[in-house]
Amino acid sequence: MDPNLMGGPFMIIEQVVSDTTIGHVSVLNSRAKTTGVDLHTVFDRLAPNEKQRTVEDYARIIQKLSLVRFSSIGSLEREQNGSYKVVALSAPRSHAEARRTLATNAIASRPYRSTREWLDTIERENKLLLEQYPEQLGSRSRPEEETRQKHAAAKLASEGMIRLIPHVAQSGGLSSIFCLWHIDLHGRNILVCPSGPDAGKIVSIIDWENAGMFPIWRLVDPPEWFASNRAREPRPNQEFLRYLQLFQNEITRLDTEGLLRSALQSKYDFLRQVASAATAPWQNIDQRNACIAAFQAQQAQQQALLAQQQAQQQAQQPQQKQARKPDTQRGQSGYATDSAVKPRARTRSLFGRR
């Protein structure tokens, strides 16, 4: 890990402001004061070229974060001597006591060593909480029977995710490169210059309390403000695609290692969906079921393709045998003798019998 990148703005546990920056962007916590205005408020009022500046600034921040690397998935904790160490990802306080009694606690109480361990443990923890501590996951406004039905549906969804995760969260490759990432890079946590010659420039990022280390392919997930406006209404698809293209072009330009470019490949899209579902609250049943349905469809498609290939191979085998079979018989010597041709009569030669 580069100490120059780790210093100052990455002191995310401290409730202070550092004068160090990532590029030109000061990374601040939620208590910091700044002259910027949250992106959620001003983005739709910016001119097209100012919006482009915001999107490209965001890409530069992602590229910088991708350079701050760790050997495991977890959170940062500041020690008394001022240094930082990687610890377990934080859990909701409401579930903290229950989580200590779960079978998954031994793994969940330390940094995760792999992407598969991270996603599998979180989903198993959800399932165990539903089984052993349903009262902590209830709702006072929902009838008891309705709550039980929702818990049962959530448990089935978690079981499906547990079966799915080992197939998609493979070790190695980009899934073994862990980088610092802000999990809440929505419009309210990004502060920009609202007007003037620097309009659209990102000046600060706040709320780093829940930042952590995650697989590098998660960093390039498009932020929600690409897709929806301040009122959380979906943007026209053409507008979303424009922001996405600007972001990907800038990432491609900046990424000299090629890792972020690889993370943009479509093969990581489903893995990002699975990670988003597995780390979502237990109530996000539809999100989990969508991943399960997509995986089952992929499996069915692969099985159908395999069956088709096998059928084609079986159909070709008799044709290949027929094509190889000559109008000859092979003797014990292995050489072909044409049965339609009579053996030549023995003749005399100048040197005696042949």
Q: Show me where the domains of the chain are located.
A: 3-298
**Mean pLDDT score, 139-145:** 65
Mean pLDDT, range 306-317, rounded to an integer = 87
Residue 331 has pLDDT above 80, yes or no: no
Tens digits of per-residue pLDDT, 69-95? 899 999 887 778 777 788 898 776 656
Pick the more confident residue, 123 or 323.
123
Bridging pattern class, strands 26-27 and 202-205: parallel
Q: Residue 243's closest CA among 265, 225, 266, 220?
A: 225
pLDDT at 269: 93
Dihedral of CA atoms 118, 121, 125, 126 in degrees, nearest 10, equals 60
Element at 74 (helix H, strand E): strand 74-78
Task: Say if residues 217 and 275 touch (Cβ distance below 8 Å).
Answer: no
Stretch among 130-139, 178-187, 274-283, 338-347 having the lowest mean pLDDT = 338-347
Tell whether the model's pLDDT for residue 335 goes beyond 50: no
In this predicted structure, the answer to whether residue 232 has a pLDDT above a threshold of 80 is yes
CATH code linked to domain 3-298: 3.90.1200
The answer to whether the beta carbons of residues 197 and 154 sit under 8 Å apart is no
- Show the DSSP H helices in 109-236 as ranges: 115-132, 144-168, 224-227
The answer, yes or no, to whether residue 342 has pLDDT greater than 50, is no
Residue 324 is predicted with a pLDDT of 63
Across 92-102, average pLDDT: 72
pLDDT in the model for residue 322: 65
- Mean pLDDT (the chain) is 81
* pTM score over 0.85: no
**d(C-alpha 103, C-alpha 238), whole Å:** 47
Q: What number is the average pLDDT over the span 221-239? A: 93
pLDDT of 52 > 90? The answer is: yes
User: What pLDDT is attached to residue 45?
Assistant: 94
What is the mean predicted confidence (pLDDT) over 211-226?
Answer: 93
Provide the 3-class DSSP secondary structure of residue 336.
strand
Average pLDDT for 121-136: 88
Mean pLDDT in residue range 214-219: 96
For 322, the 3-state DSSP assignment is helix
Tell me how crowded residue 222 is: count the other CB atoms within 10 A of its CB.
14
- From CA 296, how far away is CA 294, in angstroms rounded? 5
Distance CA 321, CA 314 (A): 11
HEC assignment per residue over 175-207: HHCEEEECCCCCHHHEEECCCCCCCCCEEEECC
- 174 three-state secondary structure: helix
pLDDT reading at 43 higher than 50: yes
Question: Based on the number of CB atoms within 10 Å of its own CB, is 264 exposed (0-12), middle (13-18) or buried (19 or more)?
Answer: middle
Distance CA(137)–CA(126), nearest Å, equals 10
Higher local confidence (pLDDT), 317 or 46: 46
